[in-house]
Amino acid sequence: MKLTNNEIAYFKRFSVIVITGGSSGIGCSIIKAILKLRPELWICNLSRSKPDIFLGENGLHQGVDLSDPAALAEVADALLQRLSEAPPGELLLVNNSGFGDYGRMHELKQQKQLAMIDLNIRAVVDLSTRLLPTLLARRGVIVNIASTAAFQPTPFLAIYGATKAFVRNWSLALNEDLRGTGVRALAVCPGPTRSNFFKAAGFTSPPIGQKSGGGLDMTSEEVALRTLRAIAQKKALVVTGWKNQCITFFGSKMPITWVARIGAIILRKLRLEQHKP
Ligand SMILES: NC(=O)c1ccc[n+]([C@@H]2O[C@H](COP(=O)([O-])OP(=O)(O)OC[C@H]3O[C@@H](n4cnc5c(N)ncnc54)[C@H](OP(=O)(O)O)[C@@H]3O)[C@@H](O)[C@H]2O)c1
């Protein structure tokens, strides 16, 4: 997939990008794709580990555990200072950091589930609202990386799917709240994507698509390009790829209790496979 000249030209308006989770996967691919378009852009990355890529002449990495509200508050102050020094231009905020944890609720560690809520939900709202005054002054776009998991209950990933449903719904409502202000919000819903996500979520082997060759998985580079295209096309929501779009569409037409049951059957199979010697 390639961006059109008009889509590429759209990115001239941005002078600074703040991104979370640029150290791997989708976040890292978004940084690479945007630096290819605008090498002079100021990039501020927030994640625990430093990205293994060049962040550009004006790149900055702030090491932070975003699931820790006090650490986020501290880093946000430094970030706001940095943003006040950035050249004029719009601000692109990409809330991308997130993780899942695979298993039955009563067998999972409660602390990890709460940390997931802190990272996938609390940090997204906290960082966005702290940056909103700057966004309103500069204008710009808030990109929230949700998931196709946002469209239905996700047994065995129960908290994860619920956090992504929050992100999707909040992002769409935020976009309406911001109408007329020069700031927009975009919810990006990738399906299974090749990254560190599944390993971090506790899968021992690659799940759907990646193992079966079922064609449901995408590279993080494809997801990054589809995200940039959706920004340039001023979309409020994008589900990456037609197969993921079909699944979310047909899922939305079925009774939600059926969708939960079918999801449990599919995801339980992965669990059984995970536990095979
Ligand atoms: N891969 C998929 O199939 C898929 C599908 C739909 C949606 N998504 C979403 O896409 C986003 C990116 O995931 P990915 O697939 O690129 O997975 P990934 O390769 O595991 O990347 C996750 C990123 O989140 C950061 N992160 C994790 N915990 C953090 C913390 N406590 N504080 C700050 N940053 C933290 C990680 O950086 P550090 O470890 O350096 O902190 C890393 O850069 C996530 O929100 C995920 O839910 C993924």
Q: How far apart are CA 19 and CA 133, in angstroms?
A: 17
Q: Atom 45, ligand 1: which residue's CA is nearest?
A: 98
Mapping DSSP to helix (H, G, I), strand (E, B) and coil, where does residue 61 land? strand
pLDDT score, position 204: 72
> What's the domain range around 204?
5-274
Q: How far apart are CA 148 and CA 94, in angstroms?
A: 18
Ligand 1 atom nearest to CA at 21: 43
Pocket test for ligand 1, best of 31, 47, 159, 194 (most atoms within 8 A of CB): 47
pLDDT grade for 277, boundaries at 50, 70 and 90: very low
Phi-psi region of 71 (alpha: psi -120 to 50; beta: other; left: phi over 0): alpha
- SS3 track for 171-218: HHHHHHHCCCCCEEEEEEECCCEECCHHHHCCCCCCCCCCCCCCCCCE
pLDDT grade for 274, boundaries at 50, 70 and 90: low
Q: Atom 41, ligand 1: which residue's CA is nearest?
A: 48
H or E stretch at 261:
helix 256-274
What single-letter amino acid sits at 70? A
Write out pLDDT tens, residues 101-113.
Answer: 999 999 999 999 9
Q: Give 21 Cα–ligand 1 centroid separation in angstroms.
A: 6
Cα separations in angstroms, 197 against 85, 102, 162: 34, 11, 17
What's the number of domains the chain is made of? 1
Q: pLDDT averaged over the chain? A: 93
Per-residue pLDDT at 213 exceeds 70: no
Q: Atom 16, ligand 1: which residue's CA is nearest?
A: 25
Backbone phi, psi, residue 91, to 5°: -110, 135
Overall average pLDDT of the 210-239 stretch: 87
Q: Give 29 Cα–ligand 1 centroid separation in angstroms.
A: 12
pLDDT score, position 205: 66
pLDDT score, position 237: 98
For residues 77-99, one letter each, b for 16 or more C-beta atoms within 10 angstroms of the residue's C-beta and e for the rest, the string is eebeebbeebeebbbbbbbbbbb
Q: Give 91 Cα–ligand 1 centroid separation in angstroms.
A: 21
Overall average pLDDT of the 45-61 stretch: 95
Pairing of strands 42-47, 60-63: parallel
- SS3 track for 215-248: CCCEEHHHHHHHHHHHHHCCCCEEECCHHHHHHH
Pocket test for ligand 1, best of 163, 197, 199 (most atoms within 8 A of CB): 197
Write out pLDDT tens, residues 113-158.
Answer: 999 999 999 999 999 999 999 999 999 999 999 999 999 999 999 9
Pocket test for ligand 1, best of 62, 95, 171, 193 (most atoms within 8 A of CB): 193
Q: Order the strands of the 42-47 sheet from edge to edge.
A: 60-63, 42-47, 14-20, 90-95, 140-145, 183-189, 237-239
Query: Is there a contact between 5 and 230 (Cβ–Cβ < 8 Å)?
Result: no
Overall average pLDDT of the 185-213 stretch: 81
Query: What are the catalytic residues?
Result: 160
Q: Give 25 Cα–ligand 1 centroid separation in angstroms.
A: 7
- Among 166-170, 178-182, 205-209, 235-239, the range scoring the smallest mean pLDDT is 205-209
Q: Give 180 Cα–ligand 1 centroid separation in angstroms.
A: 31
CATH number of the domain enclosing 195: 3.40.50.720
Query: Is there a contact between 64 and 46 (Cβ–Cβ < 8 Å)?
Result: yes
* Residues lining ligand 1, Cβ inside 6 A: 20-21, 23-27, 47-49, 65-67, 96-99, 119, 145, 147, 190, 192-193, 195-197, 200, 220
Write out pLDDT tens, residues 64-104.
Answer: 999 999 999 999 999 999 999 999 999 999 999 999 999 99
